[in-house]
Every structure is written in structure tokens, then in C-alpha cells.
Amino acid sequence: MAVTLAQAGYLETDAMKKGIIQTIINESPFLRRLPFIGIQGNAYKYNLQSTAASSGWYTVGSTITESTPVWAQRSVELSELIVDADVDKFVAQVRSSEQDVKATVIEQASIDFKDEFELMAIQGYTTDAYDAYQMKGLMRLLAEVESATTDDWDWSENAQICYPSATSGELTLGLMDELTDLIKPGKPDAYIMSRRMRRKLTTLARAAGYNLEHHNDQLGFPVESYGGVEVLICDHILDIIPDGSSDEVDILAMDQDKTRASGYDNSVIFAVKWGERGICGIQNGGIDVEPLGTLETKDATRTRIKWYVGMANFSKSSIAAMVNVLDTAL
């Protein structure tokens, strides 16, 4: 059964680990929503449902034709996400009356840990800076809807991609409807986008006579939604994606440090369904904390935060994206 980090945190008895989980979910709307399933070992093979079984109409005595869903095998290898939090003993001793230095250092390390996960949850195993140690993020999982080895966004081959233009086009509410309709059954659980695209969506909604909806989620955090679907902001979604070319975008050639300019001013908006029939995290053992004690080479103690983690997509129709989209062309 899939559980979120927030649910896991309620069951955690280790005070430090519970505090780290709380820090992470406080800082990340994405990680408050993403469910996780636990596995044994360091890899997981699963079936991506690409075509549903078809039913038929028959009369008495007819031969019934067997029909089963079409599945395509995918695999995810767990990646090791690790951060070390070192606390200088001198600083901890002389400043202990002012603040808990160790707690402060570990809290900041937890935020850095969260930032790295979110970066890889979007860009992992893509862009020109990727390496084989990273987990696959949404950009790569979207590409692999087409095939297990696909590493580009090819809208002529991938039915889960919508685009306003072959190269670059402005966001409209009609395009948001088109993106929404690619998720089946029902609506997406969330749209994931950059702040720039959220501002554009807000402007479009206001011009149409309404605004994004505002409410609090089950944990009391403020949430925005559009058409009843949560809008999650992720600062690791690039607004510098190059214009499409030849029916595709080469996600392995994306430059994370590119300056936004004409020809490199697109973004991407994801629509997802969460869970064991959609987008789900994979982990072995959950977030772990290891007090490593005093270091040999300096007067400090070290605490290691680690996570054996990955992401999977269990259904073709549980992820979709709008590519070649921007707010206003440069």
C-alpha cells in the first residue's frame, strides 16, 4: 500500500527522523502529495498499462474473443540520495545557550536534501548534466511512455504530450483543457508547473472572470487549484526549454544554466495522477538517519541523512505534459 511522507511521519517513533520528515513536508508541496511504496532489494520491475482490455457484444452461441490489457515492462533502480550534516563541536558548545546548533544544521541539511530530491523528481536522468546515479524524474517518465529507451519528447509518437505550437506557443485555457483530457480516468490529481506559468494561468483565469481557487489541504497547508485540480509549484521546472524541432524536444540536450532568451523560453506543465496506478515513489526503508559520531580529521560530529529512492509511472494515462509552452514570447 502506498503512503505519503506525511503519513509515514505520523508512525515514526525516532524523534530526529520524524523531525526531518516534518521539515521536508513543510517545505515541499510536491513531497506532501507523492505517495511511496516500499520494496526489497535495489530495483523494481513493473508493468506500464498502455492499452485497456476491450469488451464486446455477442449473441447466443457466439465465439467470445479474448481481450486483455496491453502491458509494457518498465524498471526502476533505486538511487542513493545522501547528505551529511557536520556540527562543529566548538560552535555547538559556545553557542548552545543561544540556539540548538545541531538541530539548526540538521534542519538546513533536510531542506537541501528536499531540494535535491525535487530537482531529480523533475529533471532526473535528463538534461545535459545528468548522470547514471540519478533517479528518473517526470521529464524522463513522460518520455518513456513511448518506450523504455526513449529519451526525447516526440509528440508525433507520444499521445501524452500536447503542444500549442511546433516550436513555441502561448498558454491558453483551451490548452489546459486539452492537457486535462489526456489524464484518464477522471481528472488529474495535480498540475505541476513553474511560478512563471502559474502567474500566466492566474492571469488567464482572471480575464475569464474567475480566479484560482484557494483552500487548505488535510494538513492545513494553503493550496491553489484550477478547475478542482491542485496547482503545485516546483522551482526546478525549467523556463528555458528550447523551441521544439522536428516534432520533438531533445531533453538530454537541455542546458540547466541557459539564459532565458528567444528560442530558449519555453516551459512545461505536467498533469499527473498519484498512486499505485499512477505516479508513485519507490523506496527501500524510507528516509534514514545515521549518527556517525566524531570525525577523525576535524573537531565535529556528523549526522548522515540517506534515502534509497526512485520514481515510477504505472499507467500511460496517469502522466501528461504540455510542452513548447510559454507565457509571452521574447
Report if residue 162 sits inside a domain. yes
CA distance 248 to 155: 6
Report if residue 170 sits inside a domain. yes
Model pLDDT, residue 330: 66
Report if residue 246 sits inside a domain. yes
Report if residue 173 sits inside a domain. yes
The residue among 83, 69, 28, 23 whose CA lies nearest residue 217 is 28
Q: What is the pLDDT along the chain (330 residues), one digit of tens a residue?
A: 788 888 888 878 888 888 999 999 888 889 999 999 999 888 888 777 666 667 778 888 888 877 777 677 788 889 999 999 999 888 888 776 556 888 889 999 999 999 999 999 999 999 888 888 889 999 999 999 999 889 999 999 999 999 999 999 999 999 999 999 999 989 999 999 999 999 999 999 999 988 888 888 777 888 899 999 999 999 999 999 999 988 899 999 889 889 999 999 999 999 999 999 899 999 998 999 999 999 988 999 999 999 999 999 999 999 999 999 999 876
Report if residue 65 sits inside a domain. no
The residue among 282, 290, 238 whose CA lies nearest residue 264 is 238
Which positions ≥6 away from 297 have C-beta within 8 Å?
Answer: none
Model pLDDT, residue 52: 65
Buried b (16+ CB within 10 A) or exposed e, 15-38: ebbbbbbbbbbbbbbbbbbbbbbe
Model pLDDT, residue 218: 76
Report if residue 226 sits inside a domain. yes
Cα–Cα distance list, 139 to 41, 136, 303 (Å)? 25, 8, 32
The residue among 307, 323, 272, 215 whose CA lies nearest residue 30 is 272
Residue range(s) defining the domain that contains residue 166: 149-277+320-326
Instruction: Please give the model's pTM, rounded to 2 decimal places.
Output: 0.89
* DSSP-derived secondary structure letter, 11: H
Report if residue 38 sits inside a domain. no
Report if residue 212 sits inside a domain. yes
Phi-psi region of 246 (alpha: psi -120 to 50; beta: other; left: phi over 0): left
Model pLDDT, residue 34: 94
Model pLDDT, residue 51: 66
Domains of the chain: total: 1
